[in-house]
């Protein structure tokens, strides 16, 4: 961790402490900030980015704040987070308020995901993949969560031999409630290594 990011993380924890215990984890080449596992902000190259929500967006649009850019295989992807500028840092009450709104919005979205009834409603899961999961005996979200990404993928493999690493990562993202491209690098690496070992065992 760079000294600039380290200082910004601890500054954010200090300013946003009224929200609860603000934890950080490596993600997107930077760090996510969360309260009770709900991610509401990111730190990248020493800058704080708040998750977009209705009230936050109106502020950031007015300020023309740049979004957080994540590079995926050399292709830039704009994430739904916007940079906190010096003016907002100087207004600690406003920063806390917008951060609270971002956290509240993230919590609402998570609650909404819990109410979803169809597999295809999860991130990364298309209607075709939903049908494949049904054929493999995974007919609902609860079963998918119970099996986990690896076991679900193995069951898929029994009905569709062509499924590969991309599907495994998609399942992991769906279970985590995020886009496959947003999976932490460590998770992607662990799954890629597991997939490689699985394929090697099958060839023997």
What's 73's domain CATH number?
A: 3.30.1460.30
pTM: 0.56
Place of tokens 């079963």: 143
Predicted confidence (pLDDT) per residue in 44-95, tens digit: 999 999 998 877 877 888 888 888 887 766 777 778 889 999 999 999 999 9
Residues 29 and 81 in one domain: yes
Question: Domain residues for 181?
Answer: 119-203
Residues 69 and 89 in one domain: yes
Residues 14 and 85 in one domain: yes
Residues 123 and 110 in one domain: no
Q: Which of 58, 87, 114 is the last residue of a domain?
A: 114
Instruction: Give the tokens for residue 204.
Output: 């023997």
Q: In angstroms, rounded to a whole number, what is the distance separating the alpha carbons of residues 189 and 95?
A: 35
Residues 130 and 155 in one domain: yes
Domains of the chain: total: 2
pLDDT(112) > 80? no
């Amino acid at each position: 961790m760079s000294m600039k990011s380290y200082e910004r993380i601890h500054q954010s924890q200090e300013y946003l402490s009224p929200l609860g215990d603000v934890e950080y984890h490596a993600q997107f080449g930077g760090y996510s900030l969360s309260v009770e596992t709900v991610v509401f902000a990111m730190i990248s190259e020493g800058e704080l980015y708040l998750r977009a929500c209705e009230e936050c967006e109106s502020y950031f649009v007015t300020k023309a704040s740049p979004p957080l850019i994540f590079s995926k295989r050399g292709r830039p992807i704009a994430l739904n987070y916007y940079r906190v500028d010096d003016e907002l840092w100087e207004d600690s009450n406003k920063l806390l308020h917008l951060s609270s709104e971002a956290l509240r919005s993230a919590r609402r979205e998570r609650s909404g995901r819990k109410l979803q009834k169809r597999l295809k409603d999860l991130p990364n899961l298309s209607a075709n993949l939903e049908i494949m999961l049904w054929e493999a005996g995974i007919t609902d979200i609860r079963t998918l969560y119970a099996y986990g990404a690896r076991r679900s993928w193995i069951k898929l493999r029994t009905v569709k031999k062509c499924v590969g690493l991309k599907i495994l990562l998609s399942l992991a993202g769906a279970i985590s409630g995020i886009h496959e491209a947003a999976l932490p690098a460590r998770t992607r690496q662990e799954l890629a290594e597991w997939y490689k070992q699985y394929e090697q065992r099958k060839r023997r």
